[in-house]
Amino acid sequence: MSETPQKRLYIKTYGCQMNVYDSERMTDVLRPLGYGVVDDPEGADLVVLNTCHIREKATEKVYSELGQIKLMKDRKAQAGGKMTIAVAGCVAQAEGQEIMTRQRAVDLVVGPQAYHQLPELIARAHRASGERLAADFAADEKFDALPAERKVDGVTAFLTVQEGCDKFCTFCVVPYTRGGEWSRPPEAIEDEARRLADQGVREVTLLGQNVNAYDGGGLTLAKLVRRLAKITGLDRIRYTTSHPRDMGEDLIEAHGELPQLMPYLHLPVQAGSDKILKAMNRDHTAESYVKLIERIRTARPDIAMSGDFIVGFPGERDGDFEKTLDLVREVGFASAFSFKYSRRPGTPASAMPGQVDEAVKSERLDRLNQLLDEQQRAFNASQVGKTLPVLFEKAGRHPGQIVGRSPYLQAVHASGGEHLIGTIVPVRIESAAKMSLAGVLANEPVLETA
Ligand code: 5AD
Ligand code: SF4
């Protein structure tokens, strides 16, 4: 938190003690965004009127105050600055967006129970006017970075198709640091994919913070994938990372229909307790997630599921955590990433009550990882005896060994010549470990011993 706030917040409270309390909380959630309280609205960067609706007269007072503040906003704009005006509290609750019709200078309206949404609303208002919120978020590559684009020296490549996020999960900095969802035009992606294929790339992974929210001028991710699947030489297509709420019916269908679309899906769920999912602003329940997986598995029964999990989110009790384990047992994951909740200043969850003890988080993470490891091993073991098409990528560590990937993204080791790199070859899987499989080339004559 900075000692010298760069941004000036003027907050005026009308009415009862509840509003006084809420104004303090709003100040708290705004402080990490760089806002410090000032006692004069003139020149302020953000003006919040925390209103009271108890009497007609109280409401009218708000509108007349807004008229004054509009003049200050105009003055600031003339000087090249920007003032954001927010109306909070009971008038906001009662009149909602109407307020913005009556006083156009108002940028956002936030009801009494929603002060924790202020960072989100402010970020959205700033973005709507093309501005980035210069918030005080420490960058943390672990959570908000896309994998770096791999340079093309092999047979697989990443291809960024989308960036940013509008989901505002309450634990996450991405919507603030990376901005809103933005998609590359399909033509540019198609050109790049074609060039990659010409250079010998056989598999592309389409990247985006919210890749299944891809919108190329009305073209969905499923349609984009169908276009890319027509490119000669591009035999495998993957995409990551997805949000359950953007998992469209056409994308599910594509999994059932397109042989190029690999049967592996990274679809973070984060938690199994509906109470926690709601506090995370995930917009799905445990049940809706499970139902979604059922639909995906109906289209593509062998799909390997992967996910992200957070343990120790504020307010997570033992019972909530057990629900995460239940969900994991019900879905069955082939791989997963799990994290201890980490408090990121500026995000709504960082100001939530019920922050969980580090020791409790560690213990839950261990239990979750144990279950996920078991599932990963079981999934890998279930491939033994099967013949899988493997795209060989490089020479292995041992002489005469080559390494590739199964359709389910498992590393597969086999004995074979380097001429096989860049080809997709059937491999009979003979053994499985936690992180990889080993097998023999299936069309190589196998010496039977009596
Ligand atoms: N604490 C813990 N995990 C986080 N993630 C994002 N933000 C946080 C945080 N504050 C995790 C989520 C997300 C993945 C990329 O990182 O699980 O899906
Ligand atoms: Fe962050 Fe992903 Fe949630 Fe977006 S959908 S806010 S990137 S966790």
Q: Which of the listed residues 362, 382, 402 is the one where a domain comes to its end?
A: 382
Bridge partners (DSSP) listed for residue 240 = 207
Q: Considering the domain boundaries, does residue 450 fall inside one?
A: no
Shortest-distance ligand to the CA of residue 368:
1
- Flag whether pLDDT at 132 surpasses 60: no
Q: Going by CA atoms, what residue is nearest to atom 3 of ligand 2?
A: 169
Q: In 3-state terms, what secondary structure has residue 46? A: strand
- CATH number at 362 reads 3.30.750.200
Mutate to test the pocket of ligand 2, among 137, 209, 313, 339 (most ligand atoms within 8 A of CB): 209
Tell me what the mean pLDDT of segment 430-434 comes to. 95
Atom of ligand 1 nearest to the CA of 144: 15
Question: What's the domain count of the chain?
Answer: 4
Cα(169) to ligand 2 centroid in Å equals 5
* CATH number of domain containing 215: 3.30.750.210
Q: Are residues 61 and 119 in the same domain?
A: yes
Report d(CA 117, CA 97) in Å as an integer.
16
Rounded to the nearest angstrom, the distance between the alpha carbon of 171 and the centre of ligand 1 is 7
pLDDT at 378: 97
| 450 confidence band (pLDDT: 50, 70, 90) | very low
Could you read off the pLDDT of 249-308 as tens digits, one per residue? 999 999 999 999 999 999 999 999 999 999 999 999 999 999 999 999 999 999 999 999
Residues 291 and 374 in one domain: yes
Mutate to test the pocket of ligand 1, among 167, 177, 324, 339 (most ligand atoms within 8 A of CB): 339
Alpha-carbon distance values, 133 to 129, 130, 281 (Å): 11, 10, 20
The percentage of the chain sitting over the pLDDT mark of 90, rounded to a whole number, equals: 70
Please report whether residue 449 resides in a domain.
no
Q: Does 446 reside within a domain?
A: no
Same domain, 316 and 304: yes
User: Looking only at Cα atoms, what is the longest distance across the chain?
Assistant: 98
Instruction: Judge whether 147 lies within some domain.
Output: no
> 1 pLDDT band (50/70/90 cuts)?
very low
Residues 136 and 53 in one domain: yes
Same domain, 131 and 15: yes
Element (H, E) at 122: helix 118-128
- Per-residue pLDDT of 155-196, as tens digits, reads 999 898 998 888 999 999 888 877 788 899 999 999 999 999
Residue 25 lies in a domain: yes
Q: In 3D, which of 177, 349, 178 has the Cα closest to residue 277?
A: 349
Q: Among 229, 260, 291, where does a domain finish?
A: 260
pLDDT at 148 > cutoff 90: no
pLDDT at 134 over 70: no
CA of 238 to the centre of ligand 1 (A): 22
Together in a domain, 287 and 203: no
| Same domain membership, residue 425 and residue 301 | no
User: Is 357 contained in some domain?
Assistant: yes
* pTM beyond 0.85, yes or no: no
pLDDT tens digits, one per residue of 293-329: 999 999 999 999 999 999 999 999 999 999 999 999 9
For residues 252 and 278, membership in a common domain is answered with no
Tell me which residue has its CA closest to atom 18 in ligand 1: 308
CA-281 nearest atom, ligand 2: 3
CA pseudo-torsion sign 360, 366, 372, 374 = negative
Residues 159, 105, single domain; the answer is no
Domain boundaries, position 432: 387-441
Which one of 213, 243, 260 terminates a domain? Answer: 260
Q: What is the CATH number of the domain that holds 413?
A: 2.40.50.140
Query: What CATH number did the domain enclosing 49 receive?
Result: 3.40.50.12160
Domain identity same for 182 and 293: no
Whether the bond into 241 is cis, omega within 30 of 0: yes
Q: Closest Cα to atom 17, ligand 1: which residue?
A: 308
Phi, psi dihedral angles at 149 (to 5 degrees): -65, 125
Using CB distances shorter than 6 Å, the residues near ligand 2 are 165, 167-169, 172, 174-175, 209-210, 243
Q: Examine the domain organization and report whether 171 and 223 are in the same domain.
A: yes
Shared domain check, 252 and 226: yes
In the beta sheet, which residues pair with residue 11?
Answer: 48
pLDDT tens digit sequence for 52-95: 877 777 788 899 999 999 999 999 999 999 999 999 988 888 88
Which of 117, 146, 174, 350 gets mutated to test ligand 2 (max ligand atoms within 8 A of its CB)?
174
Residue 50: Cβ-neighbour burial (10 angstroms; 0-12, 13-18, 19+): buried
**Is residue 289 one of the residues assigned to a domain?**
yes
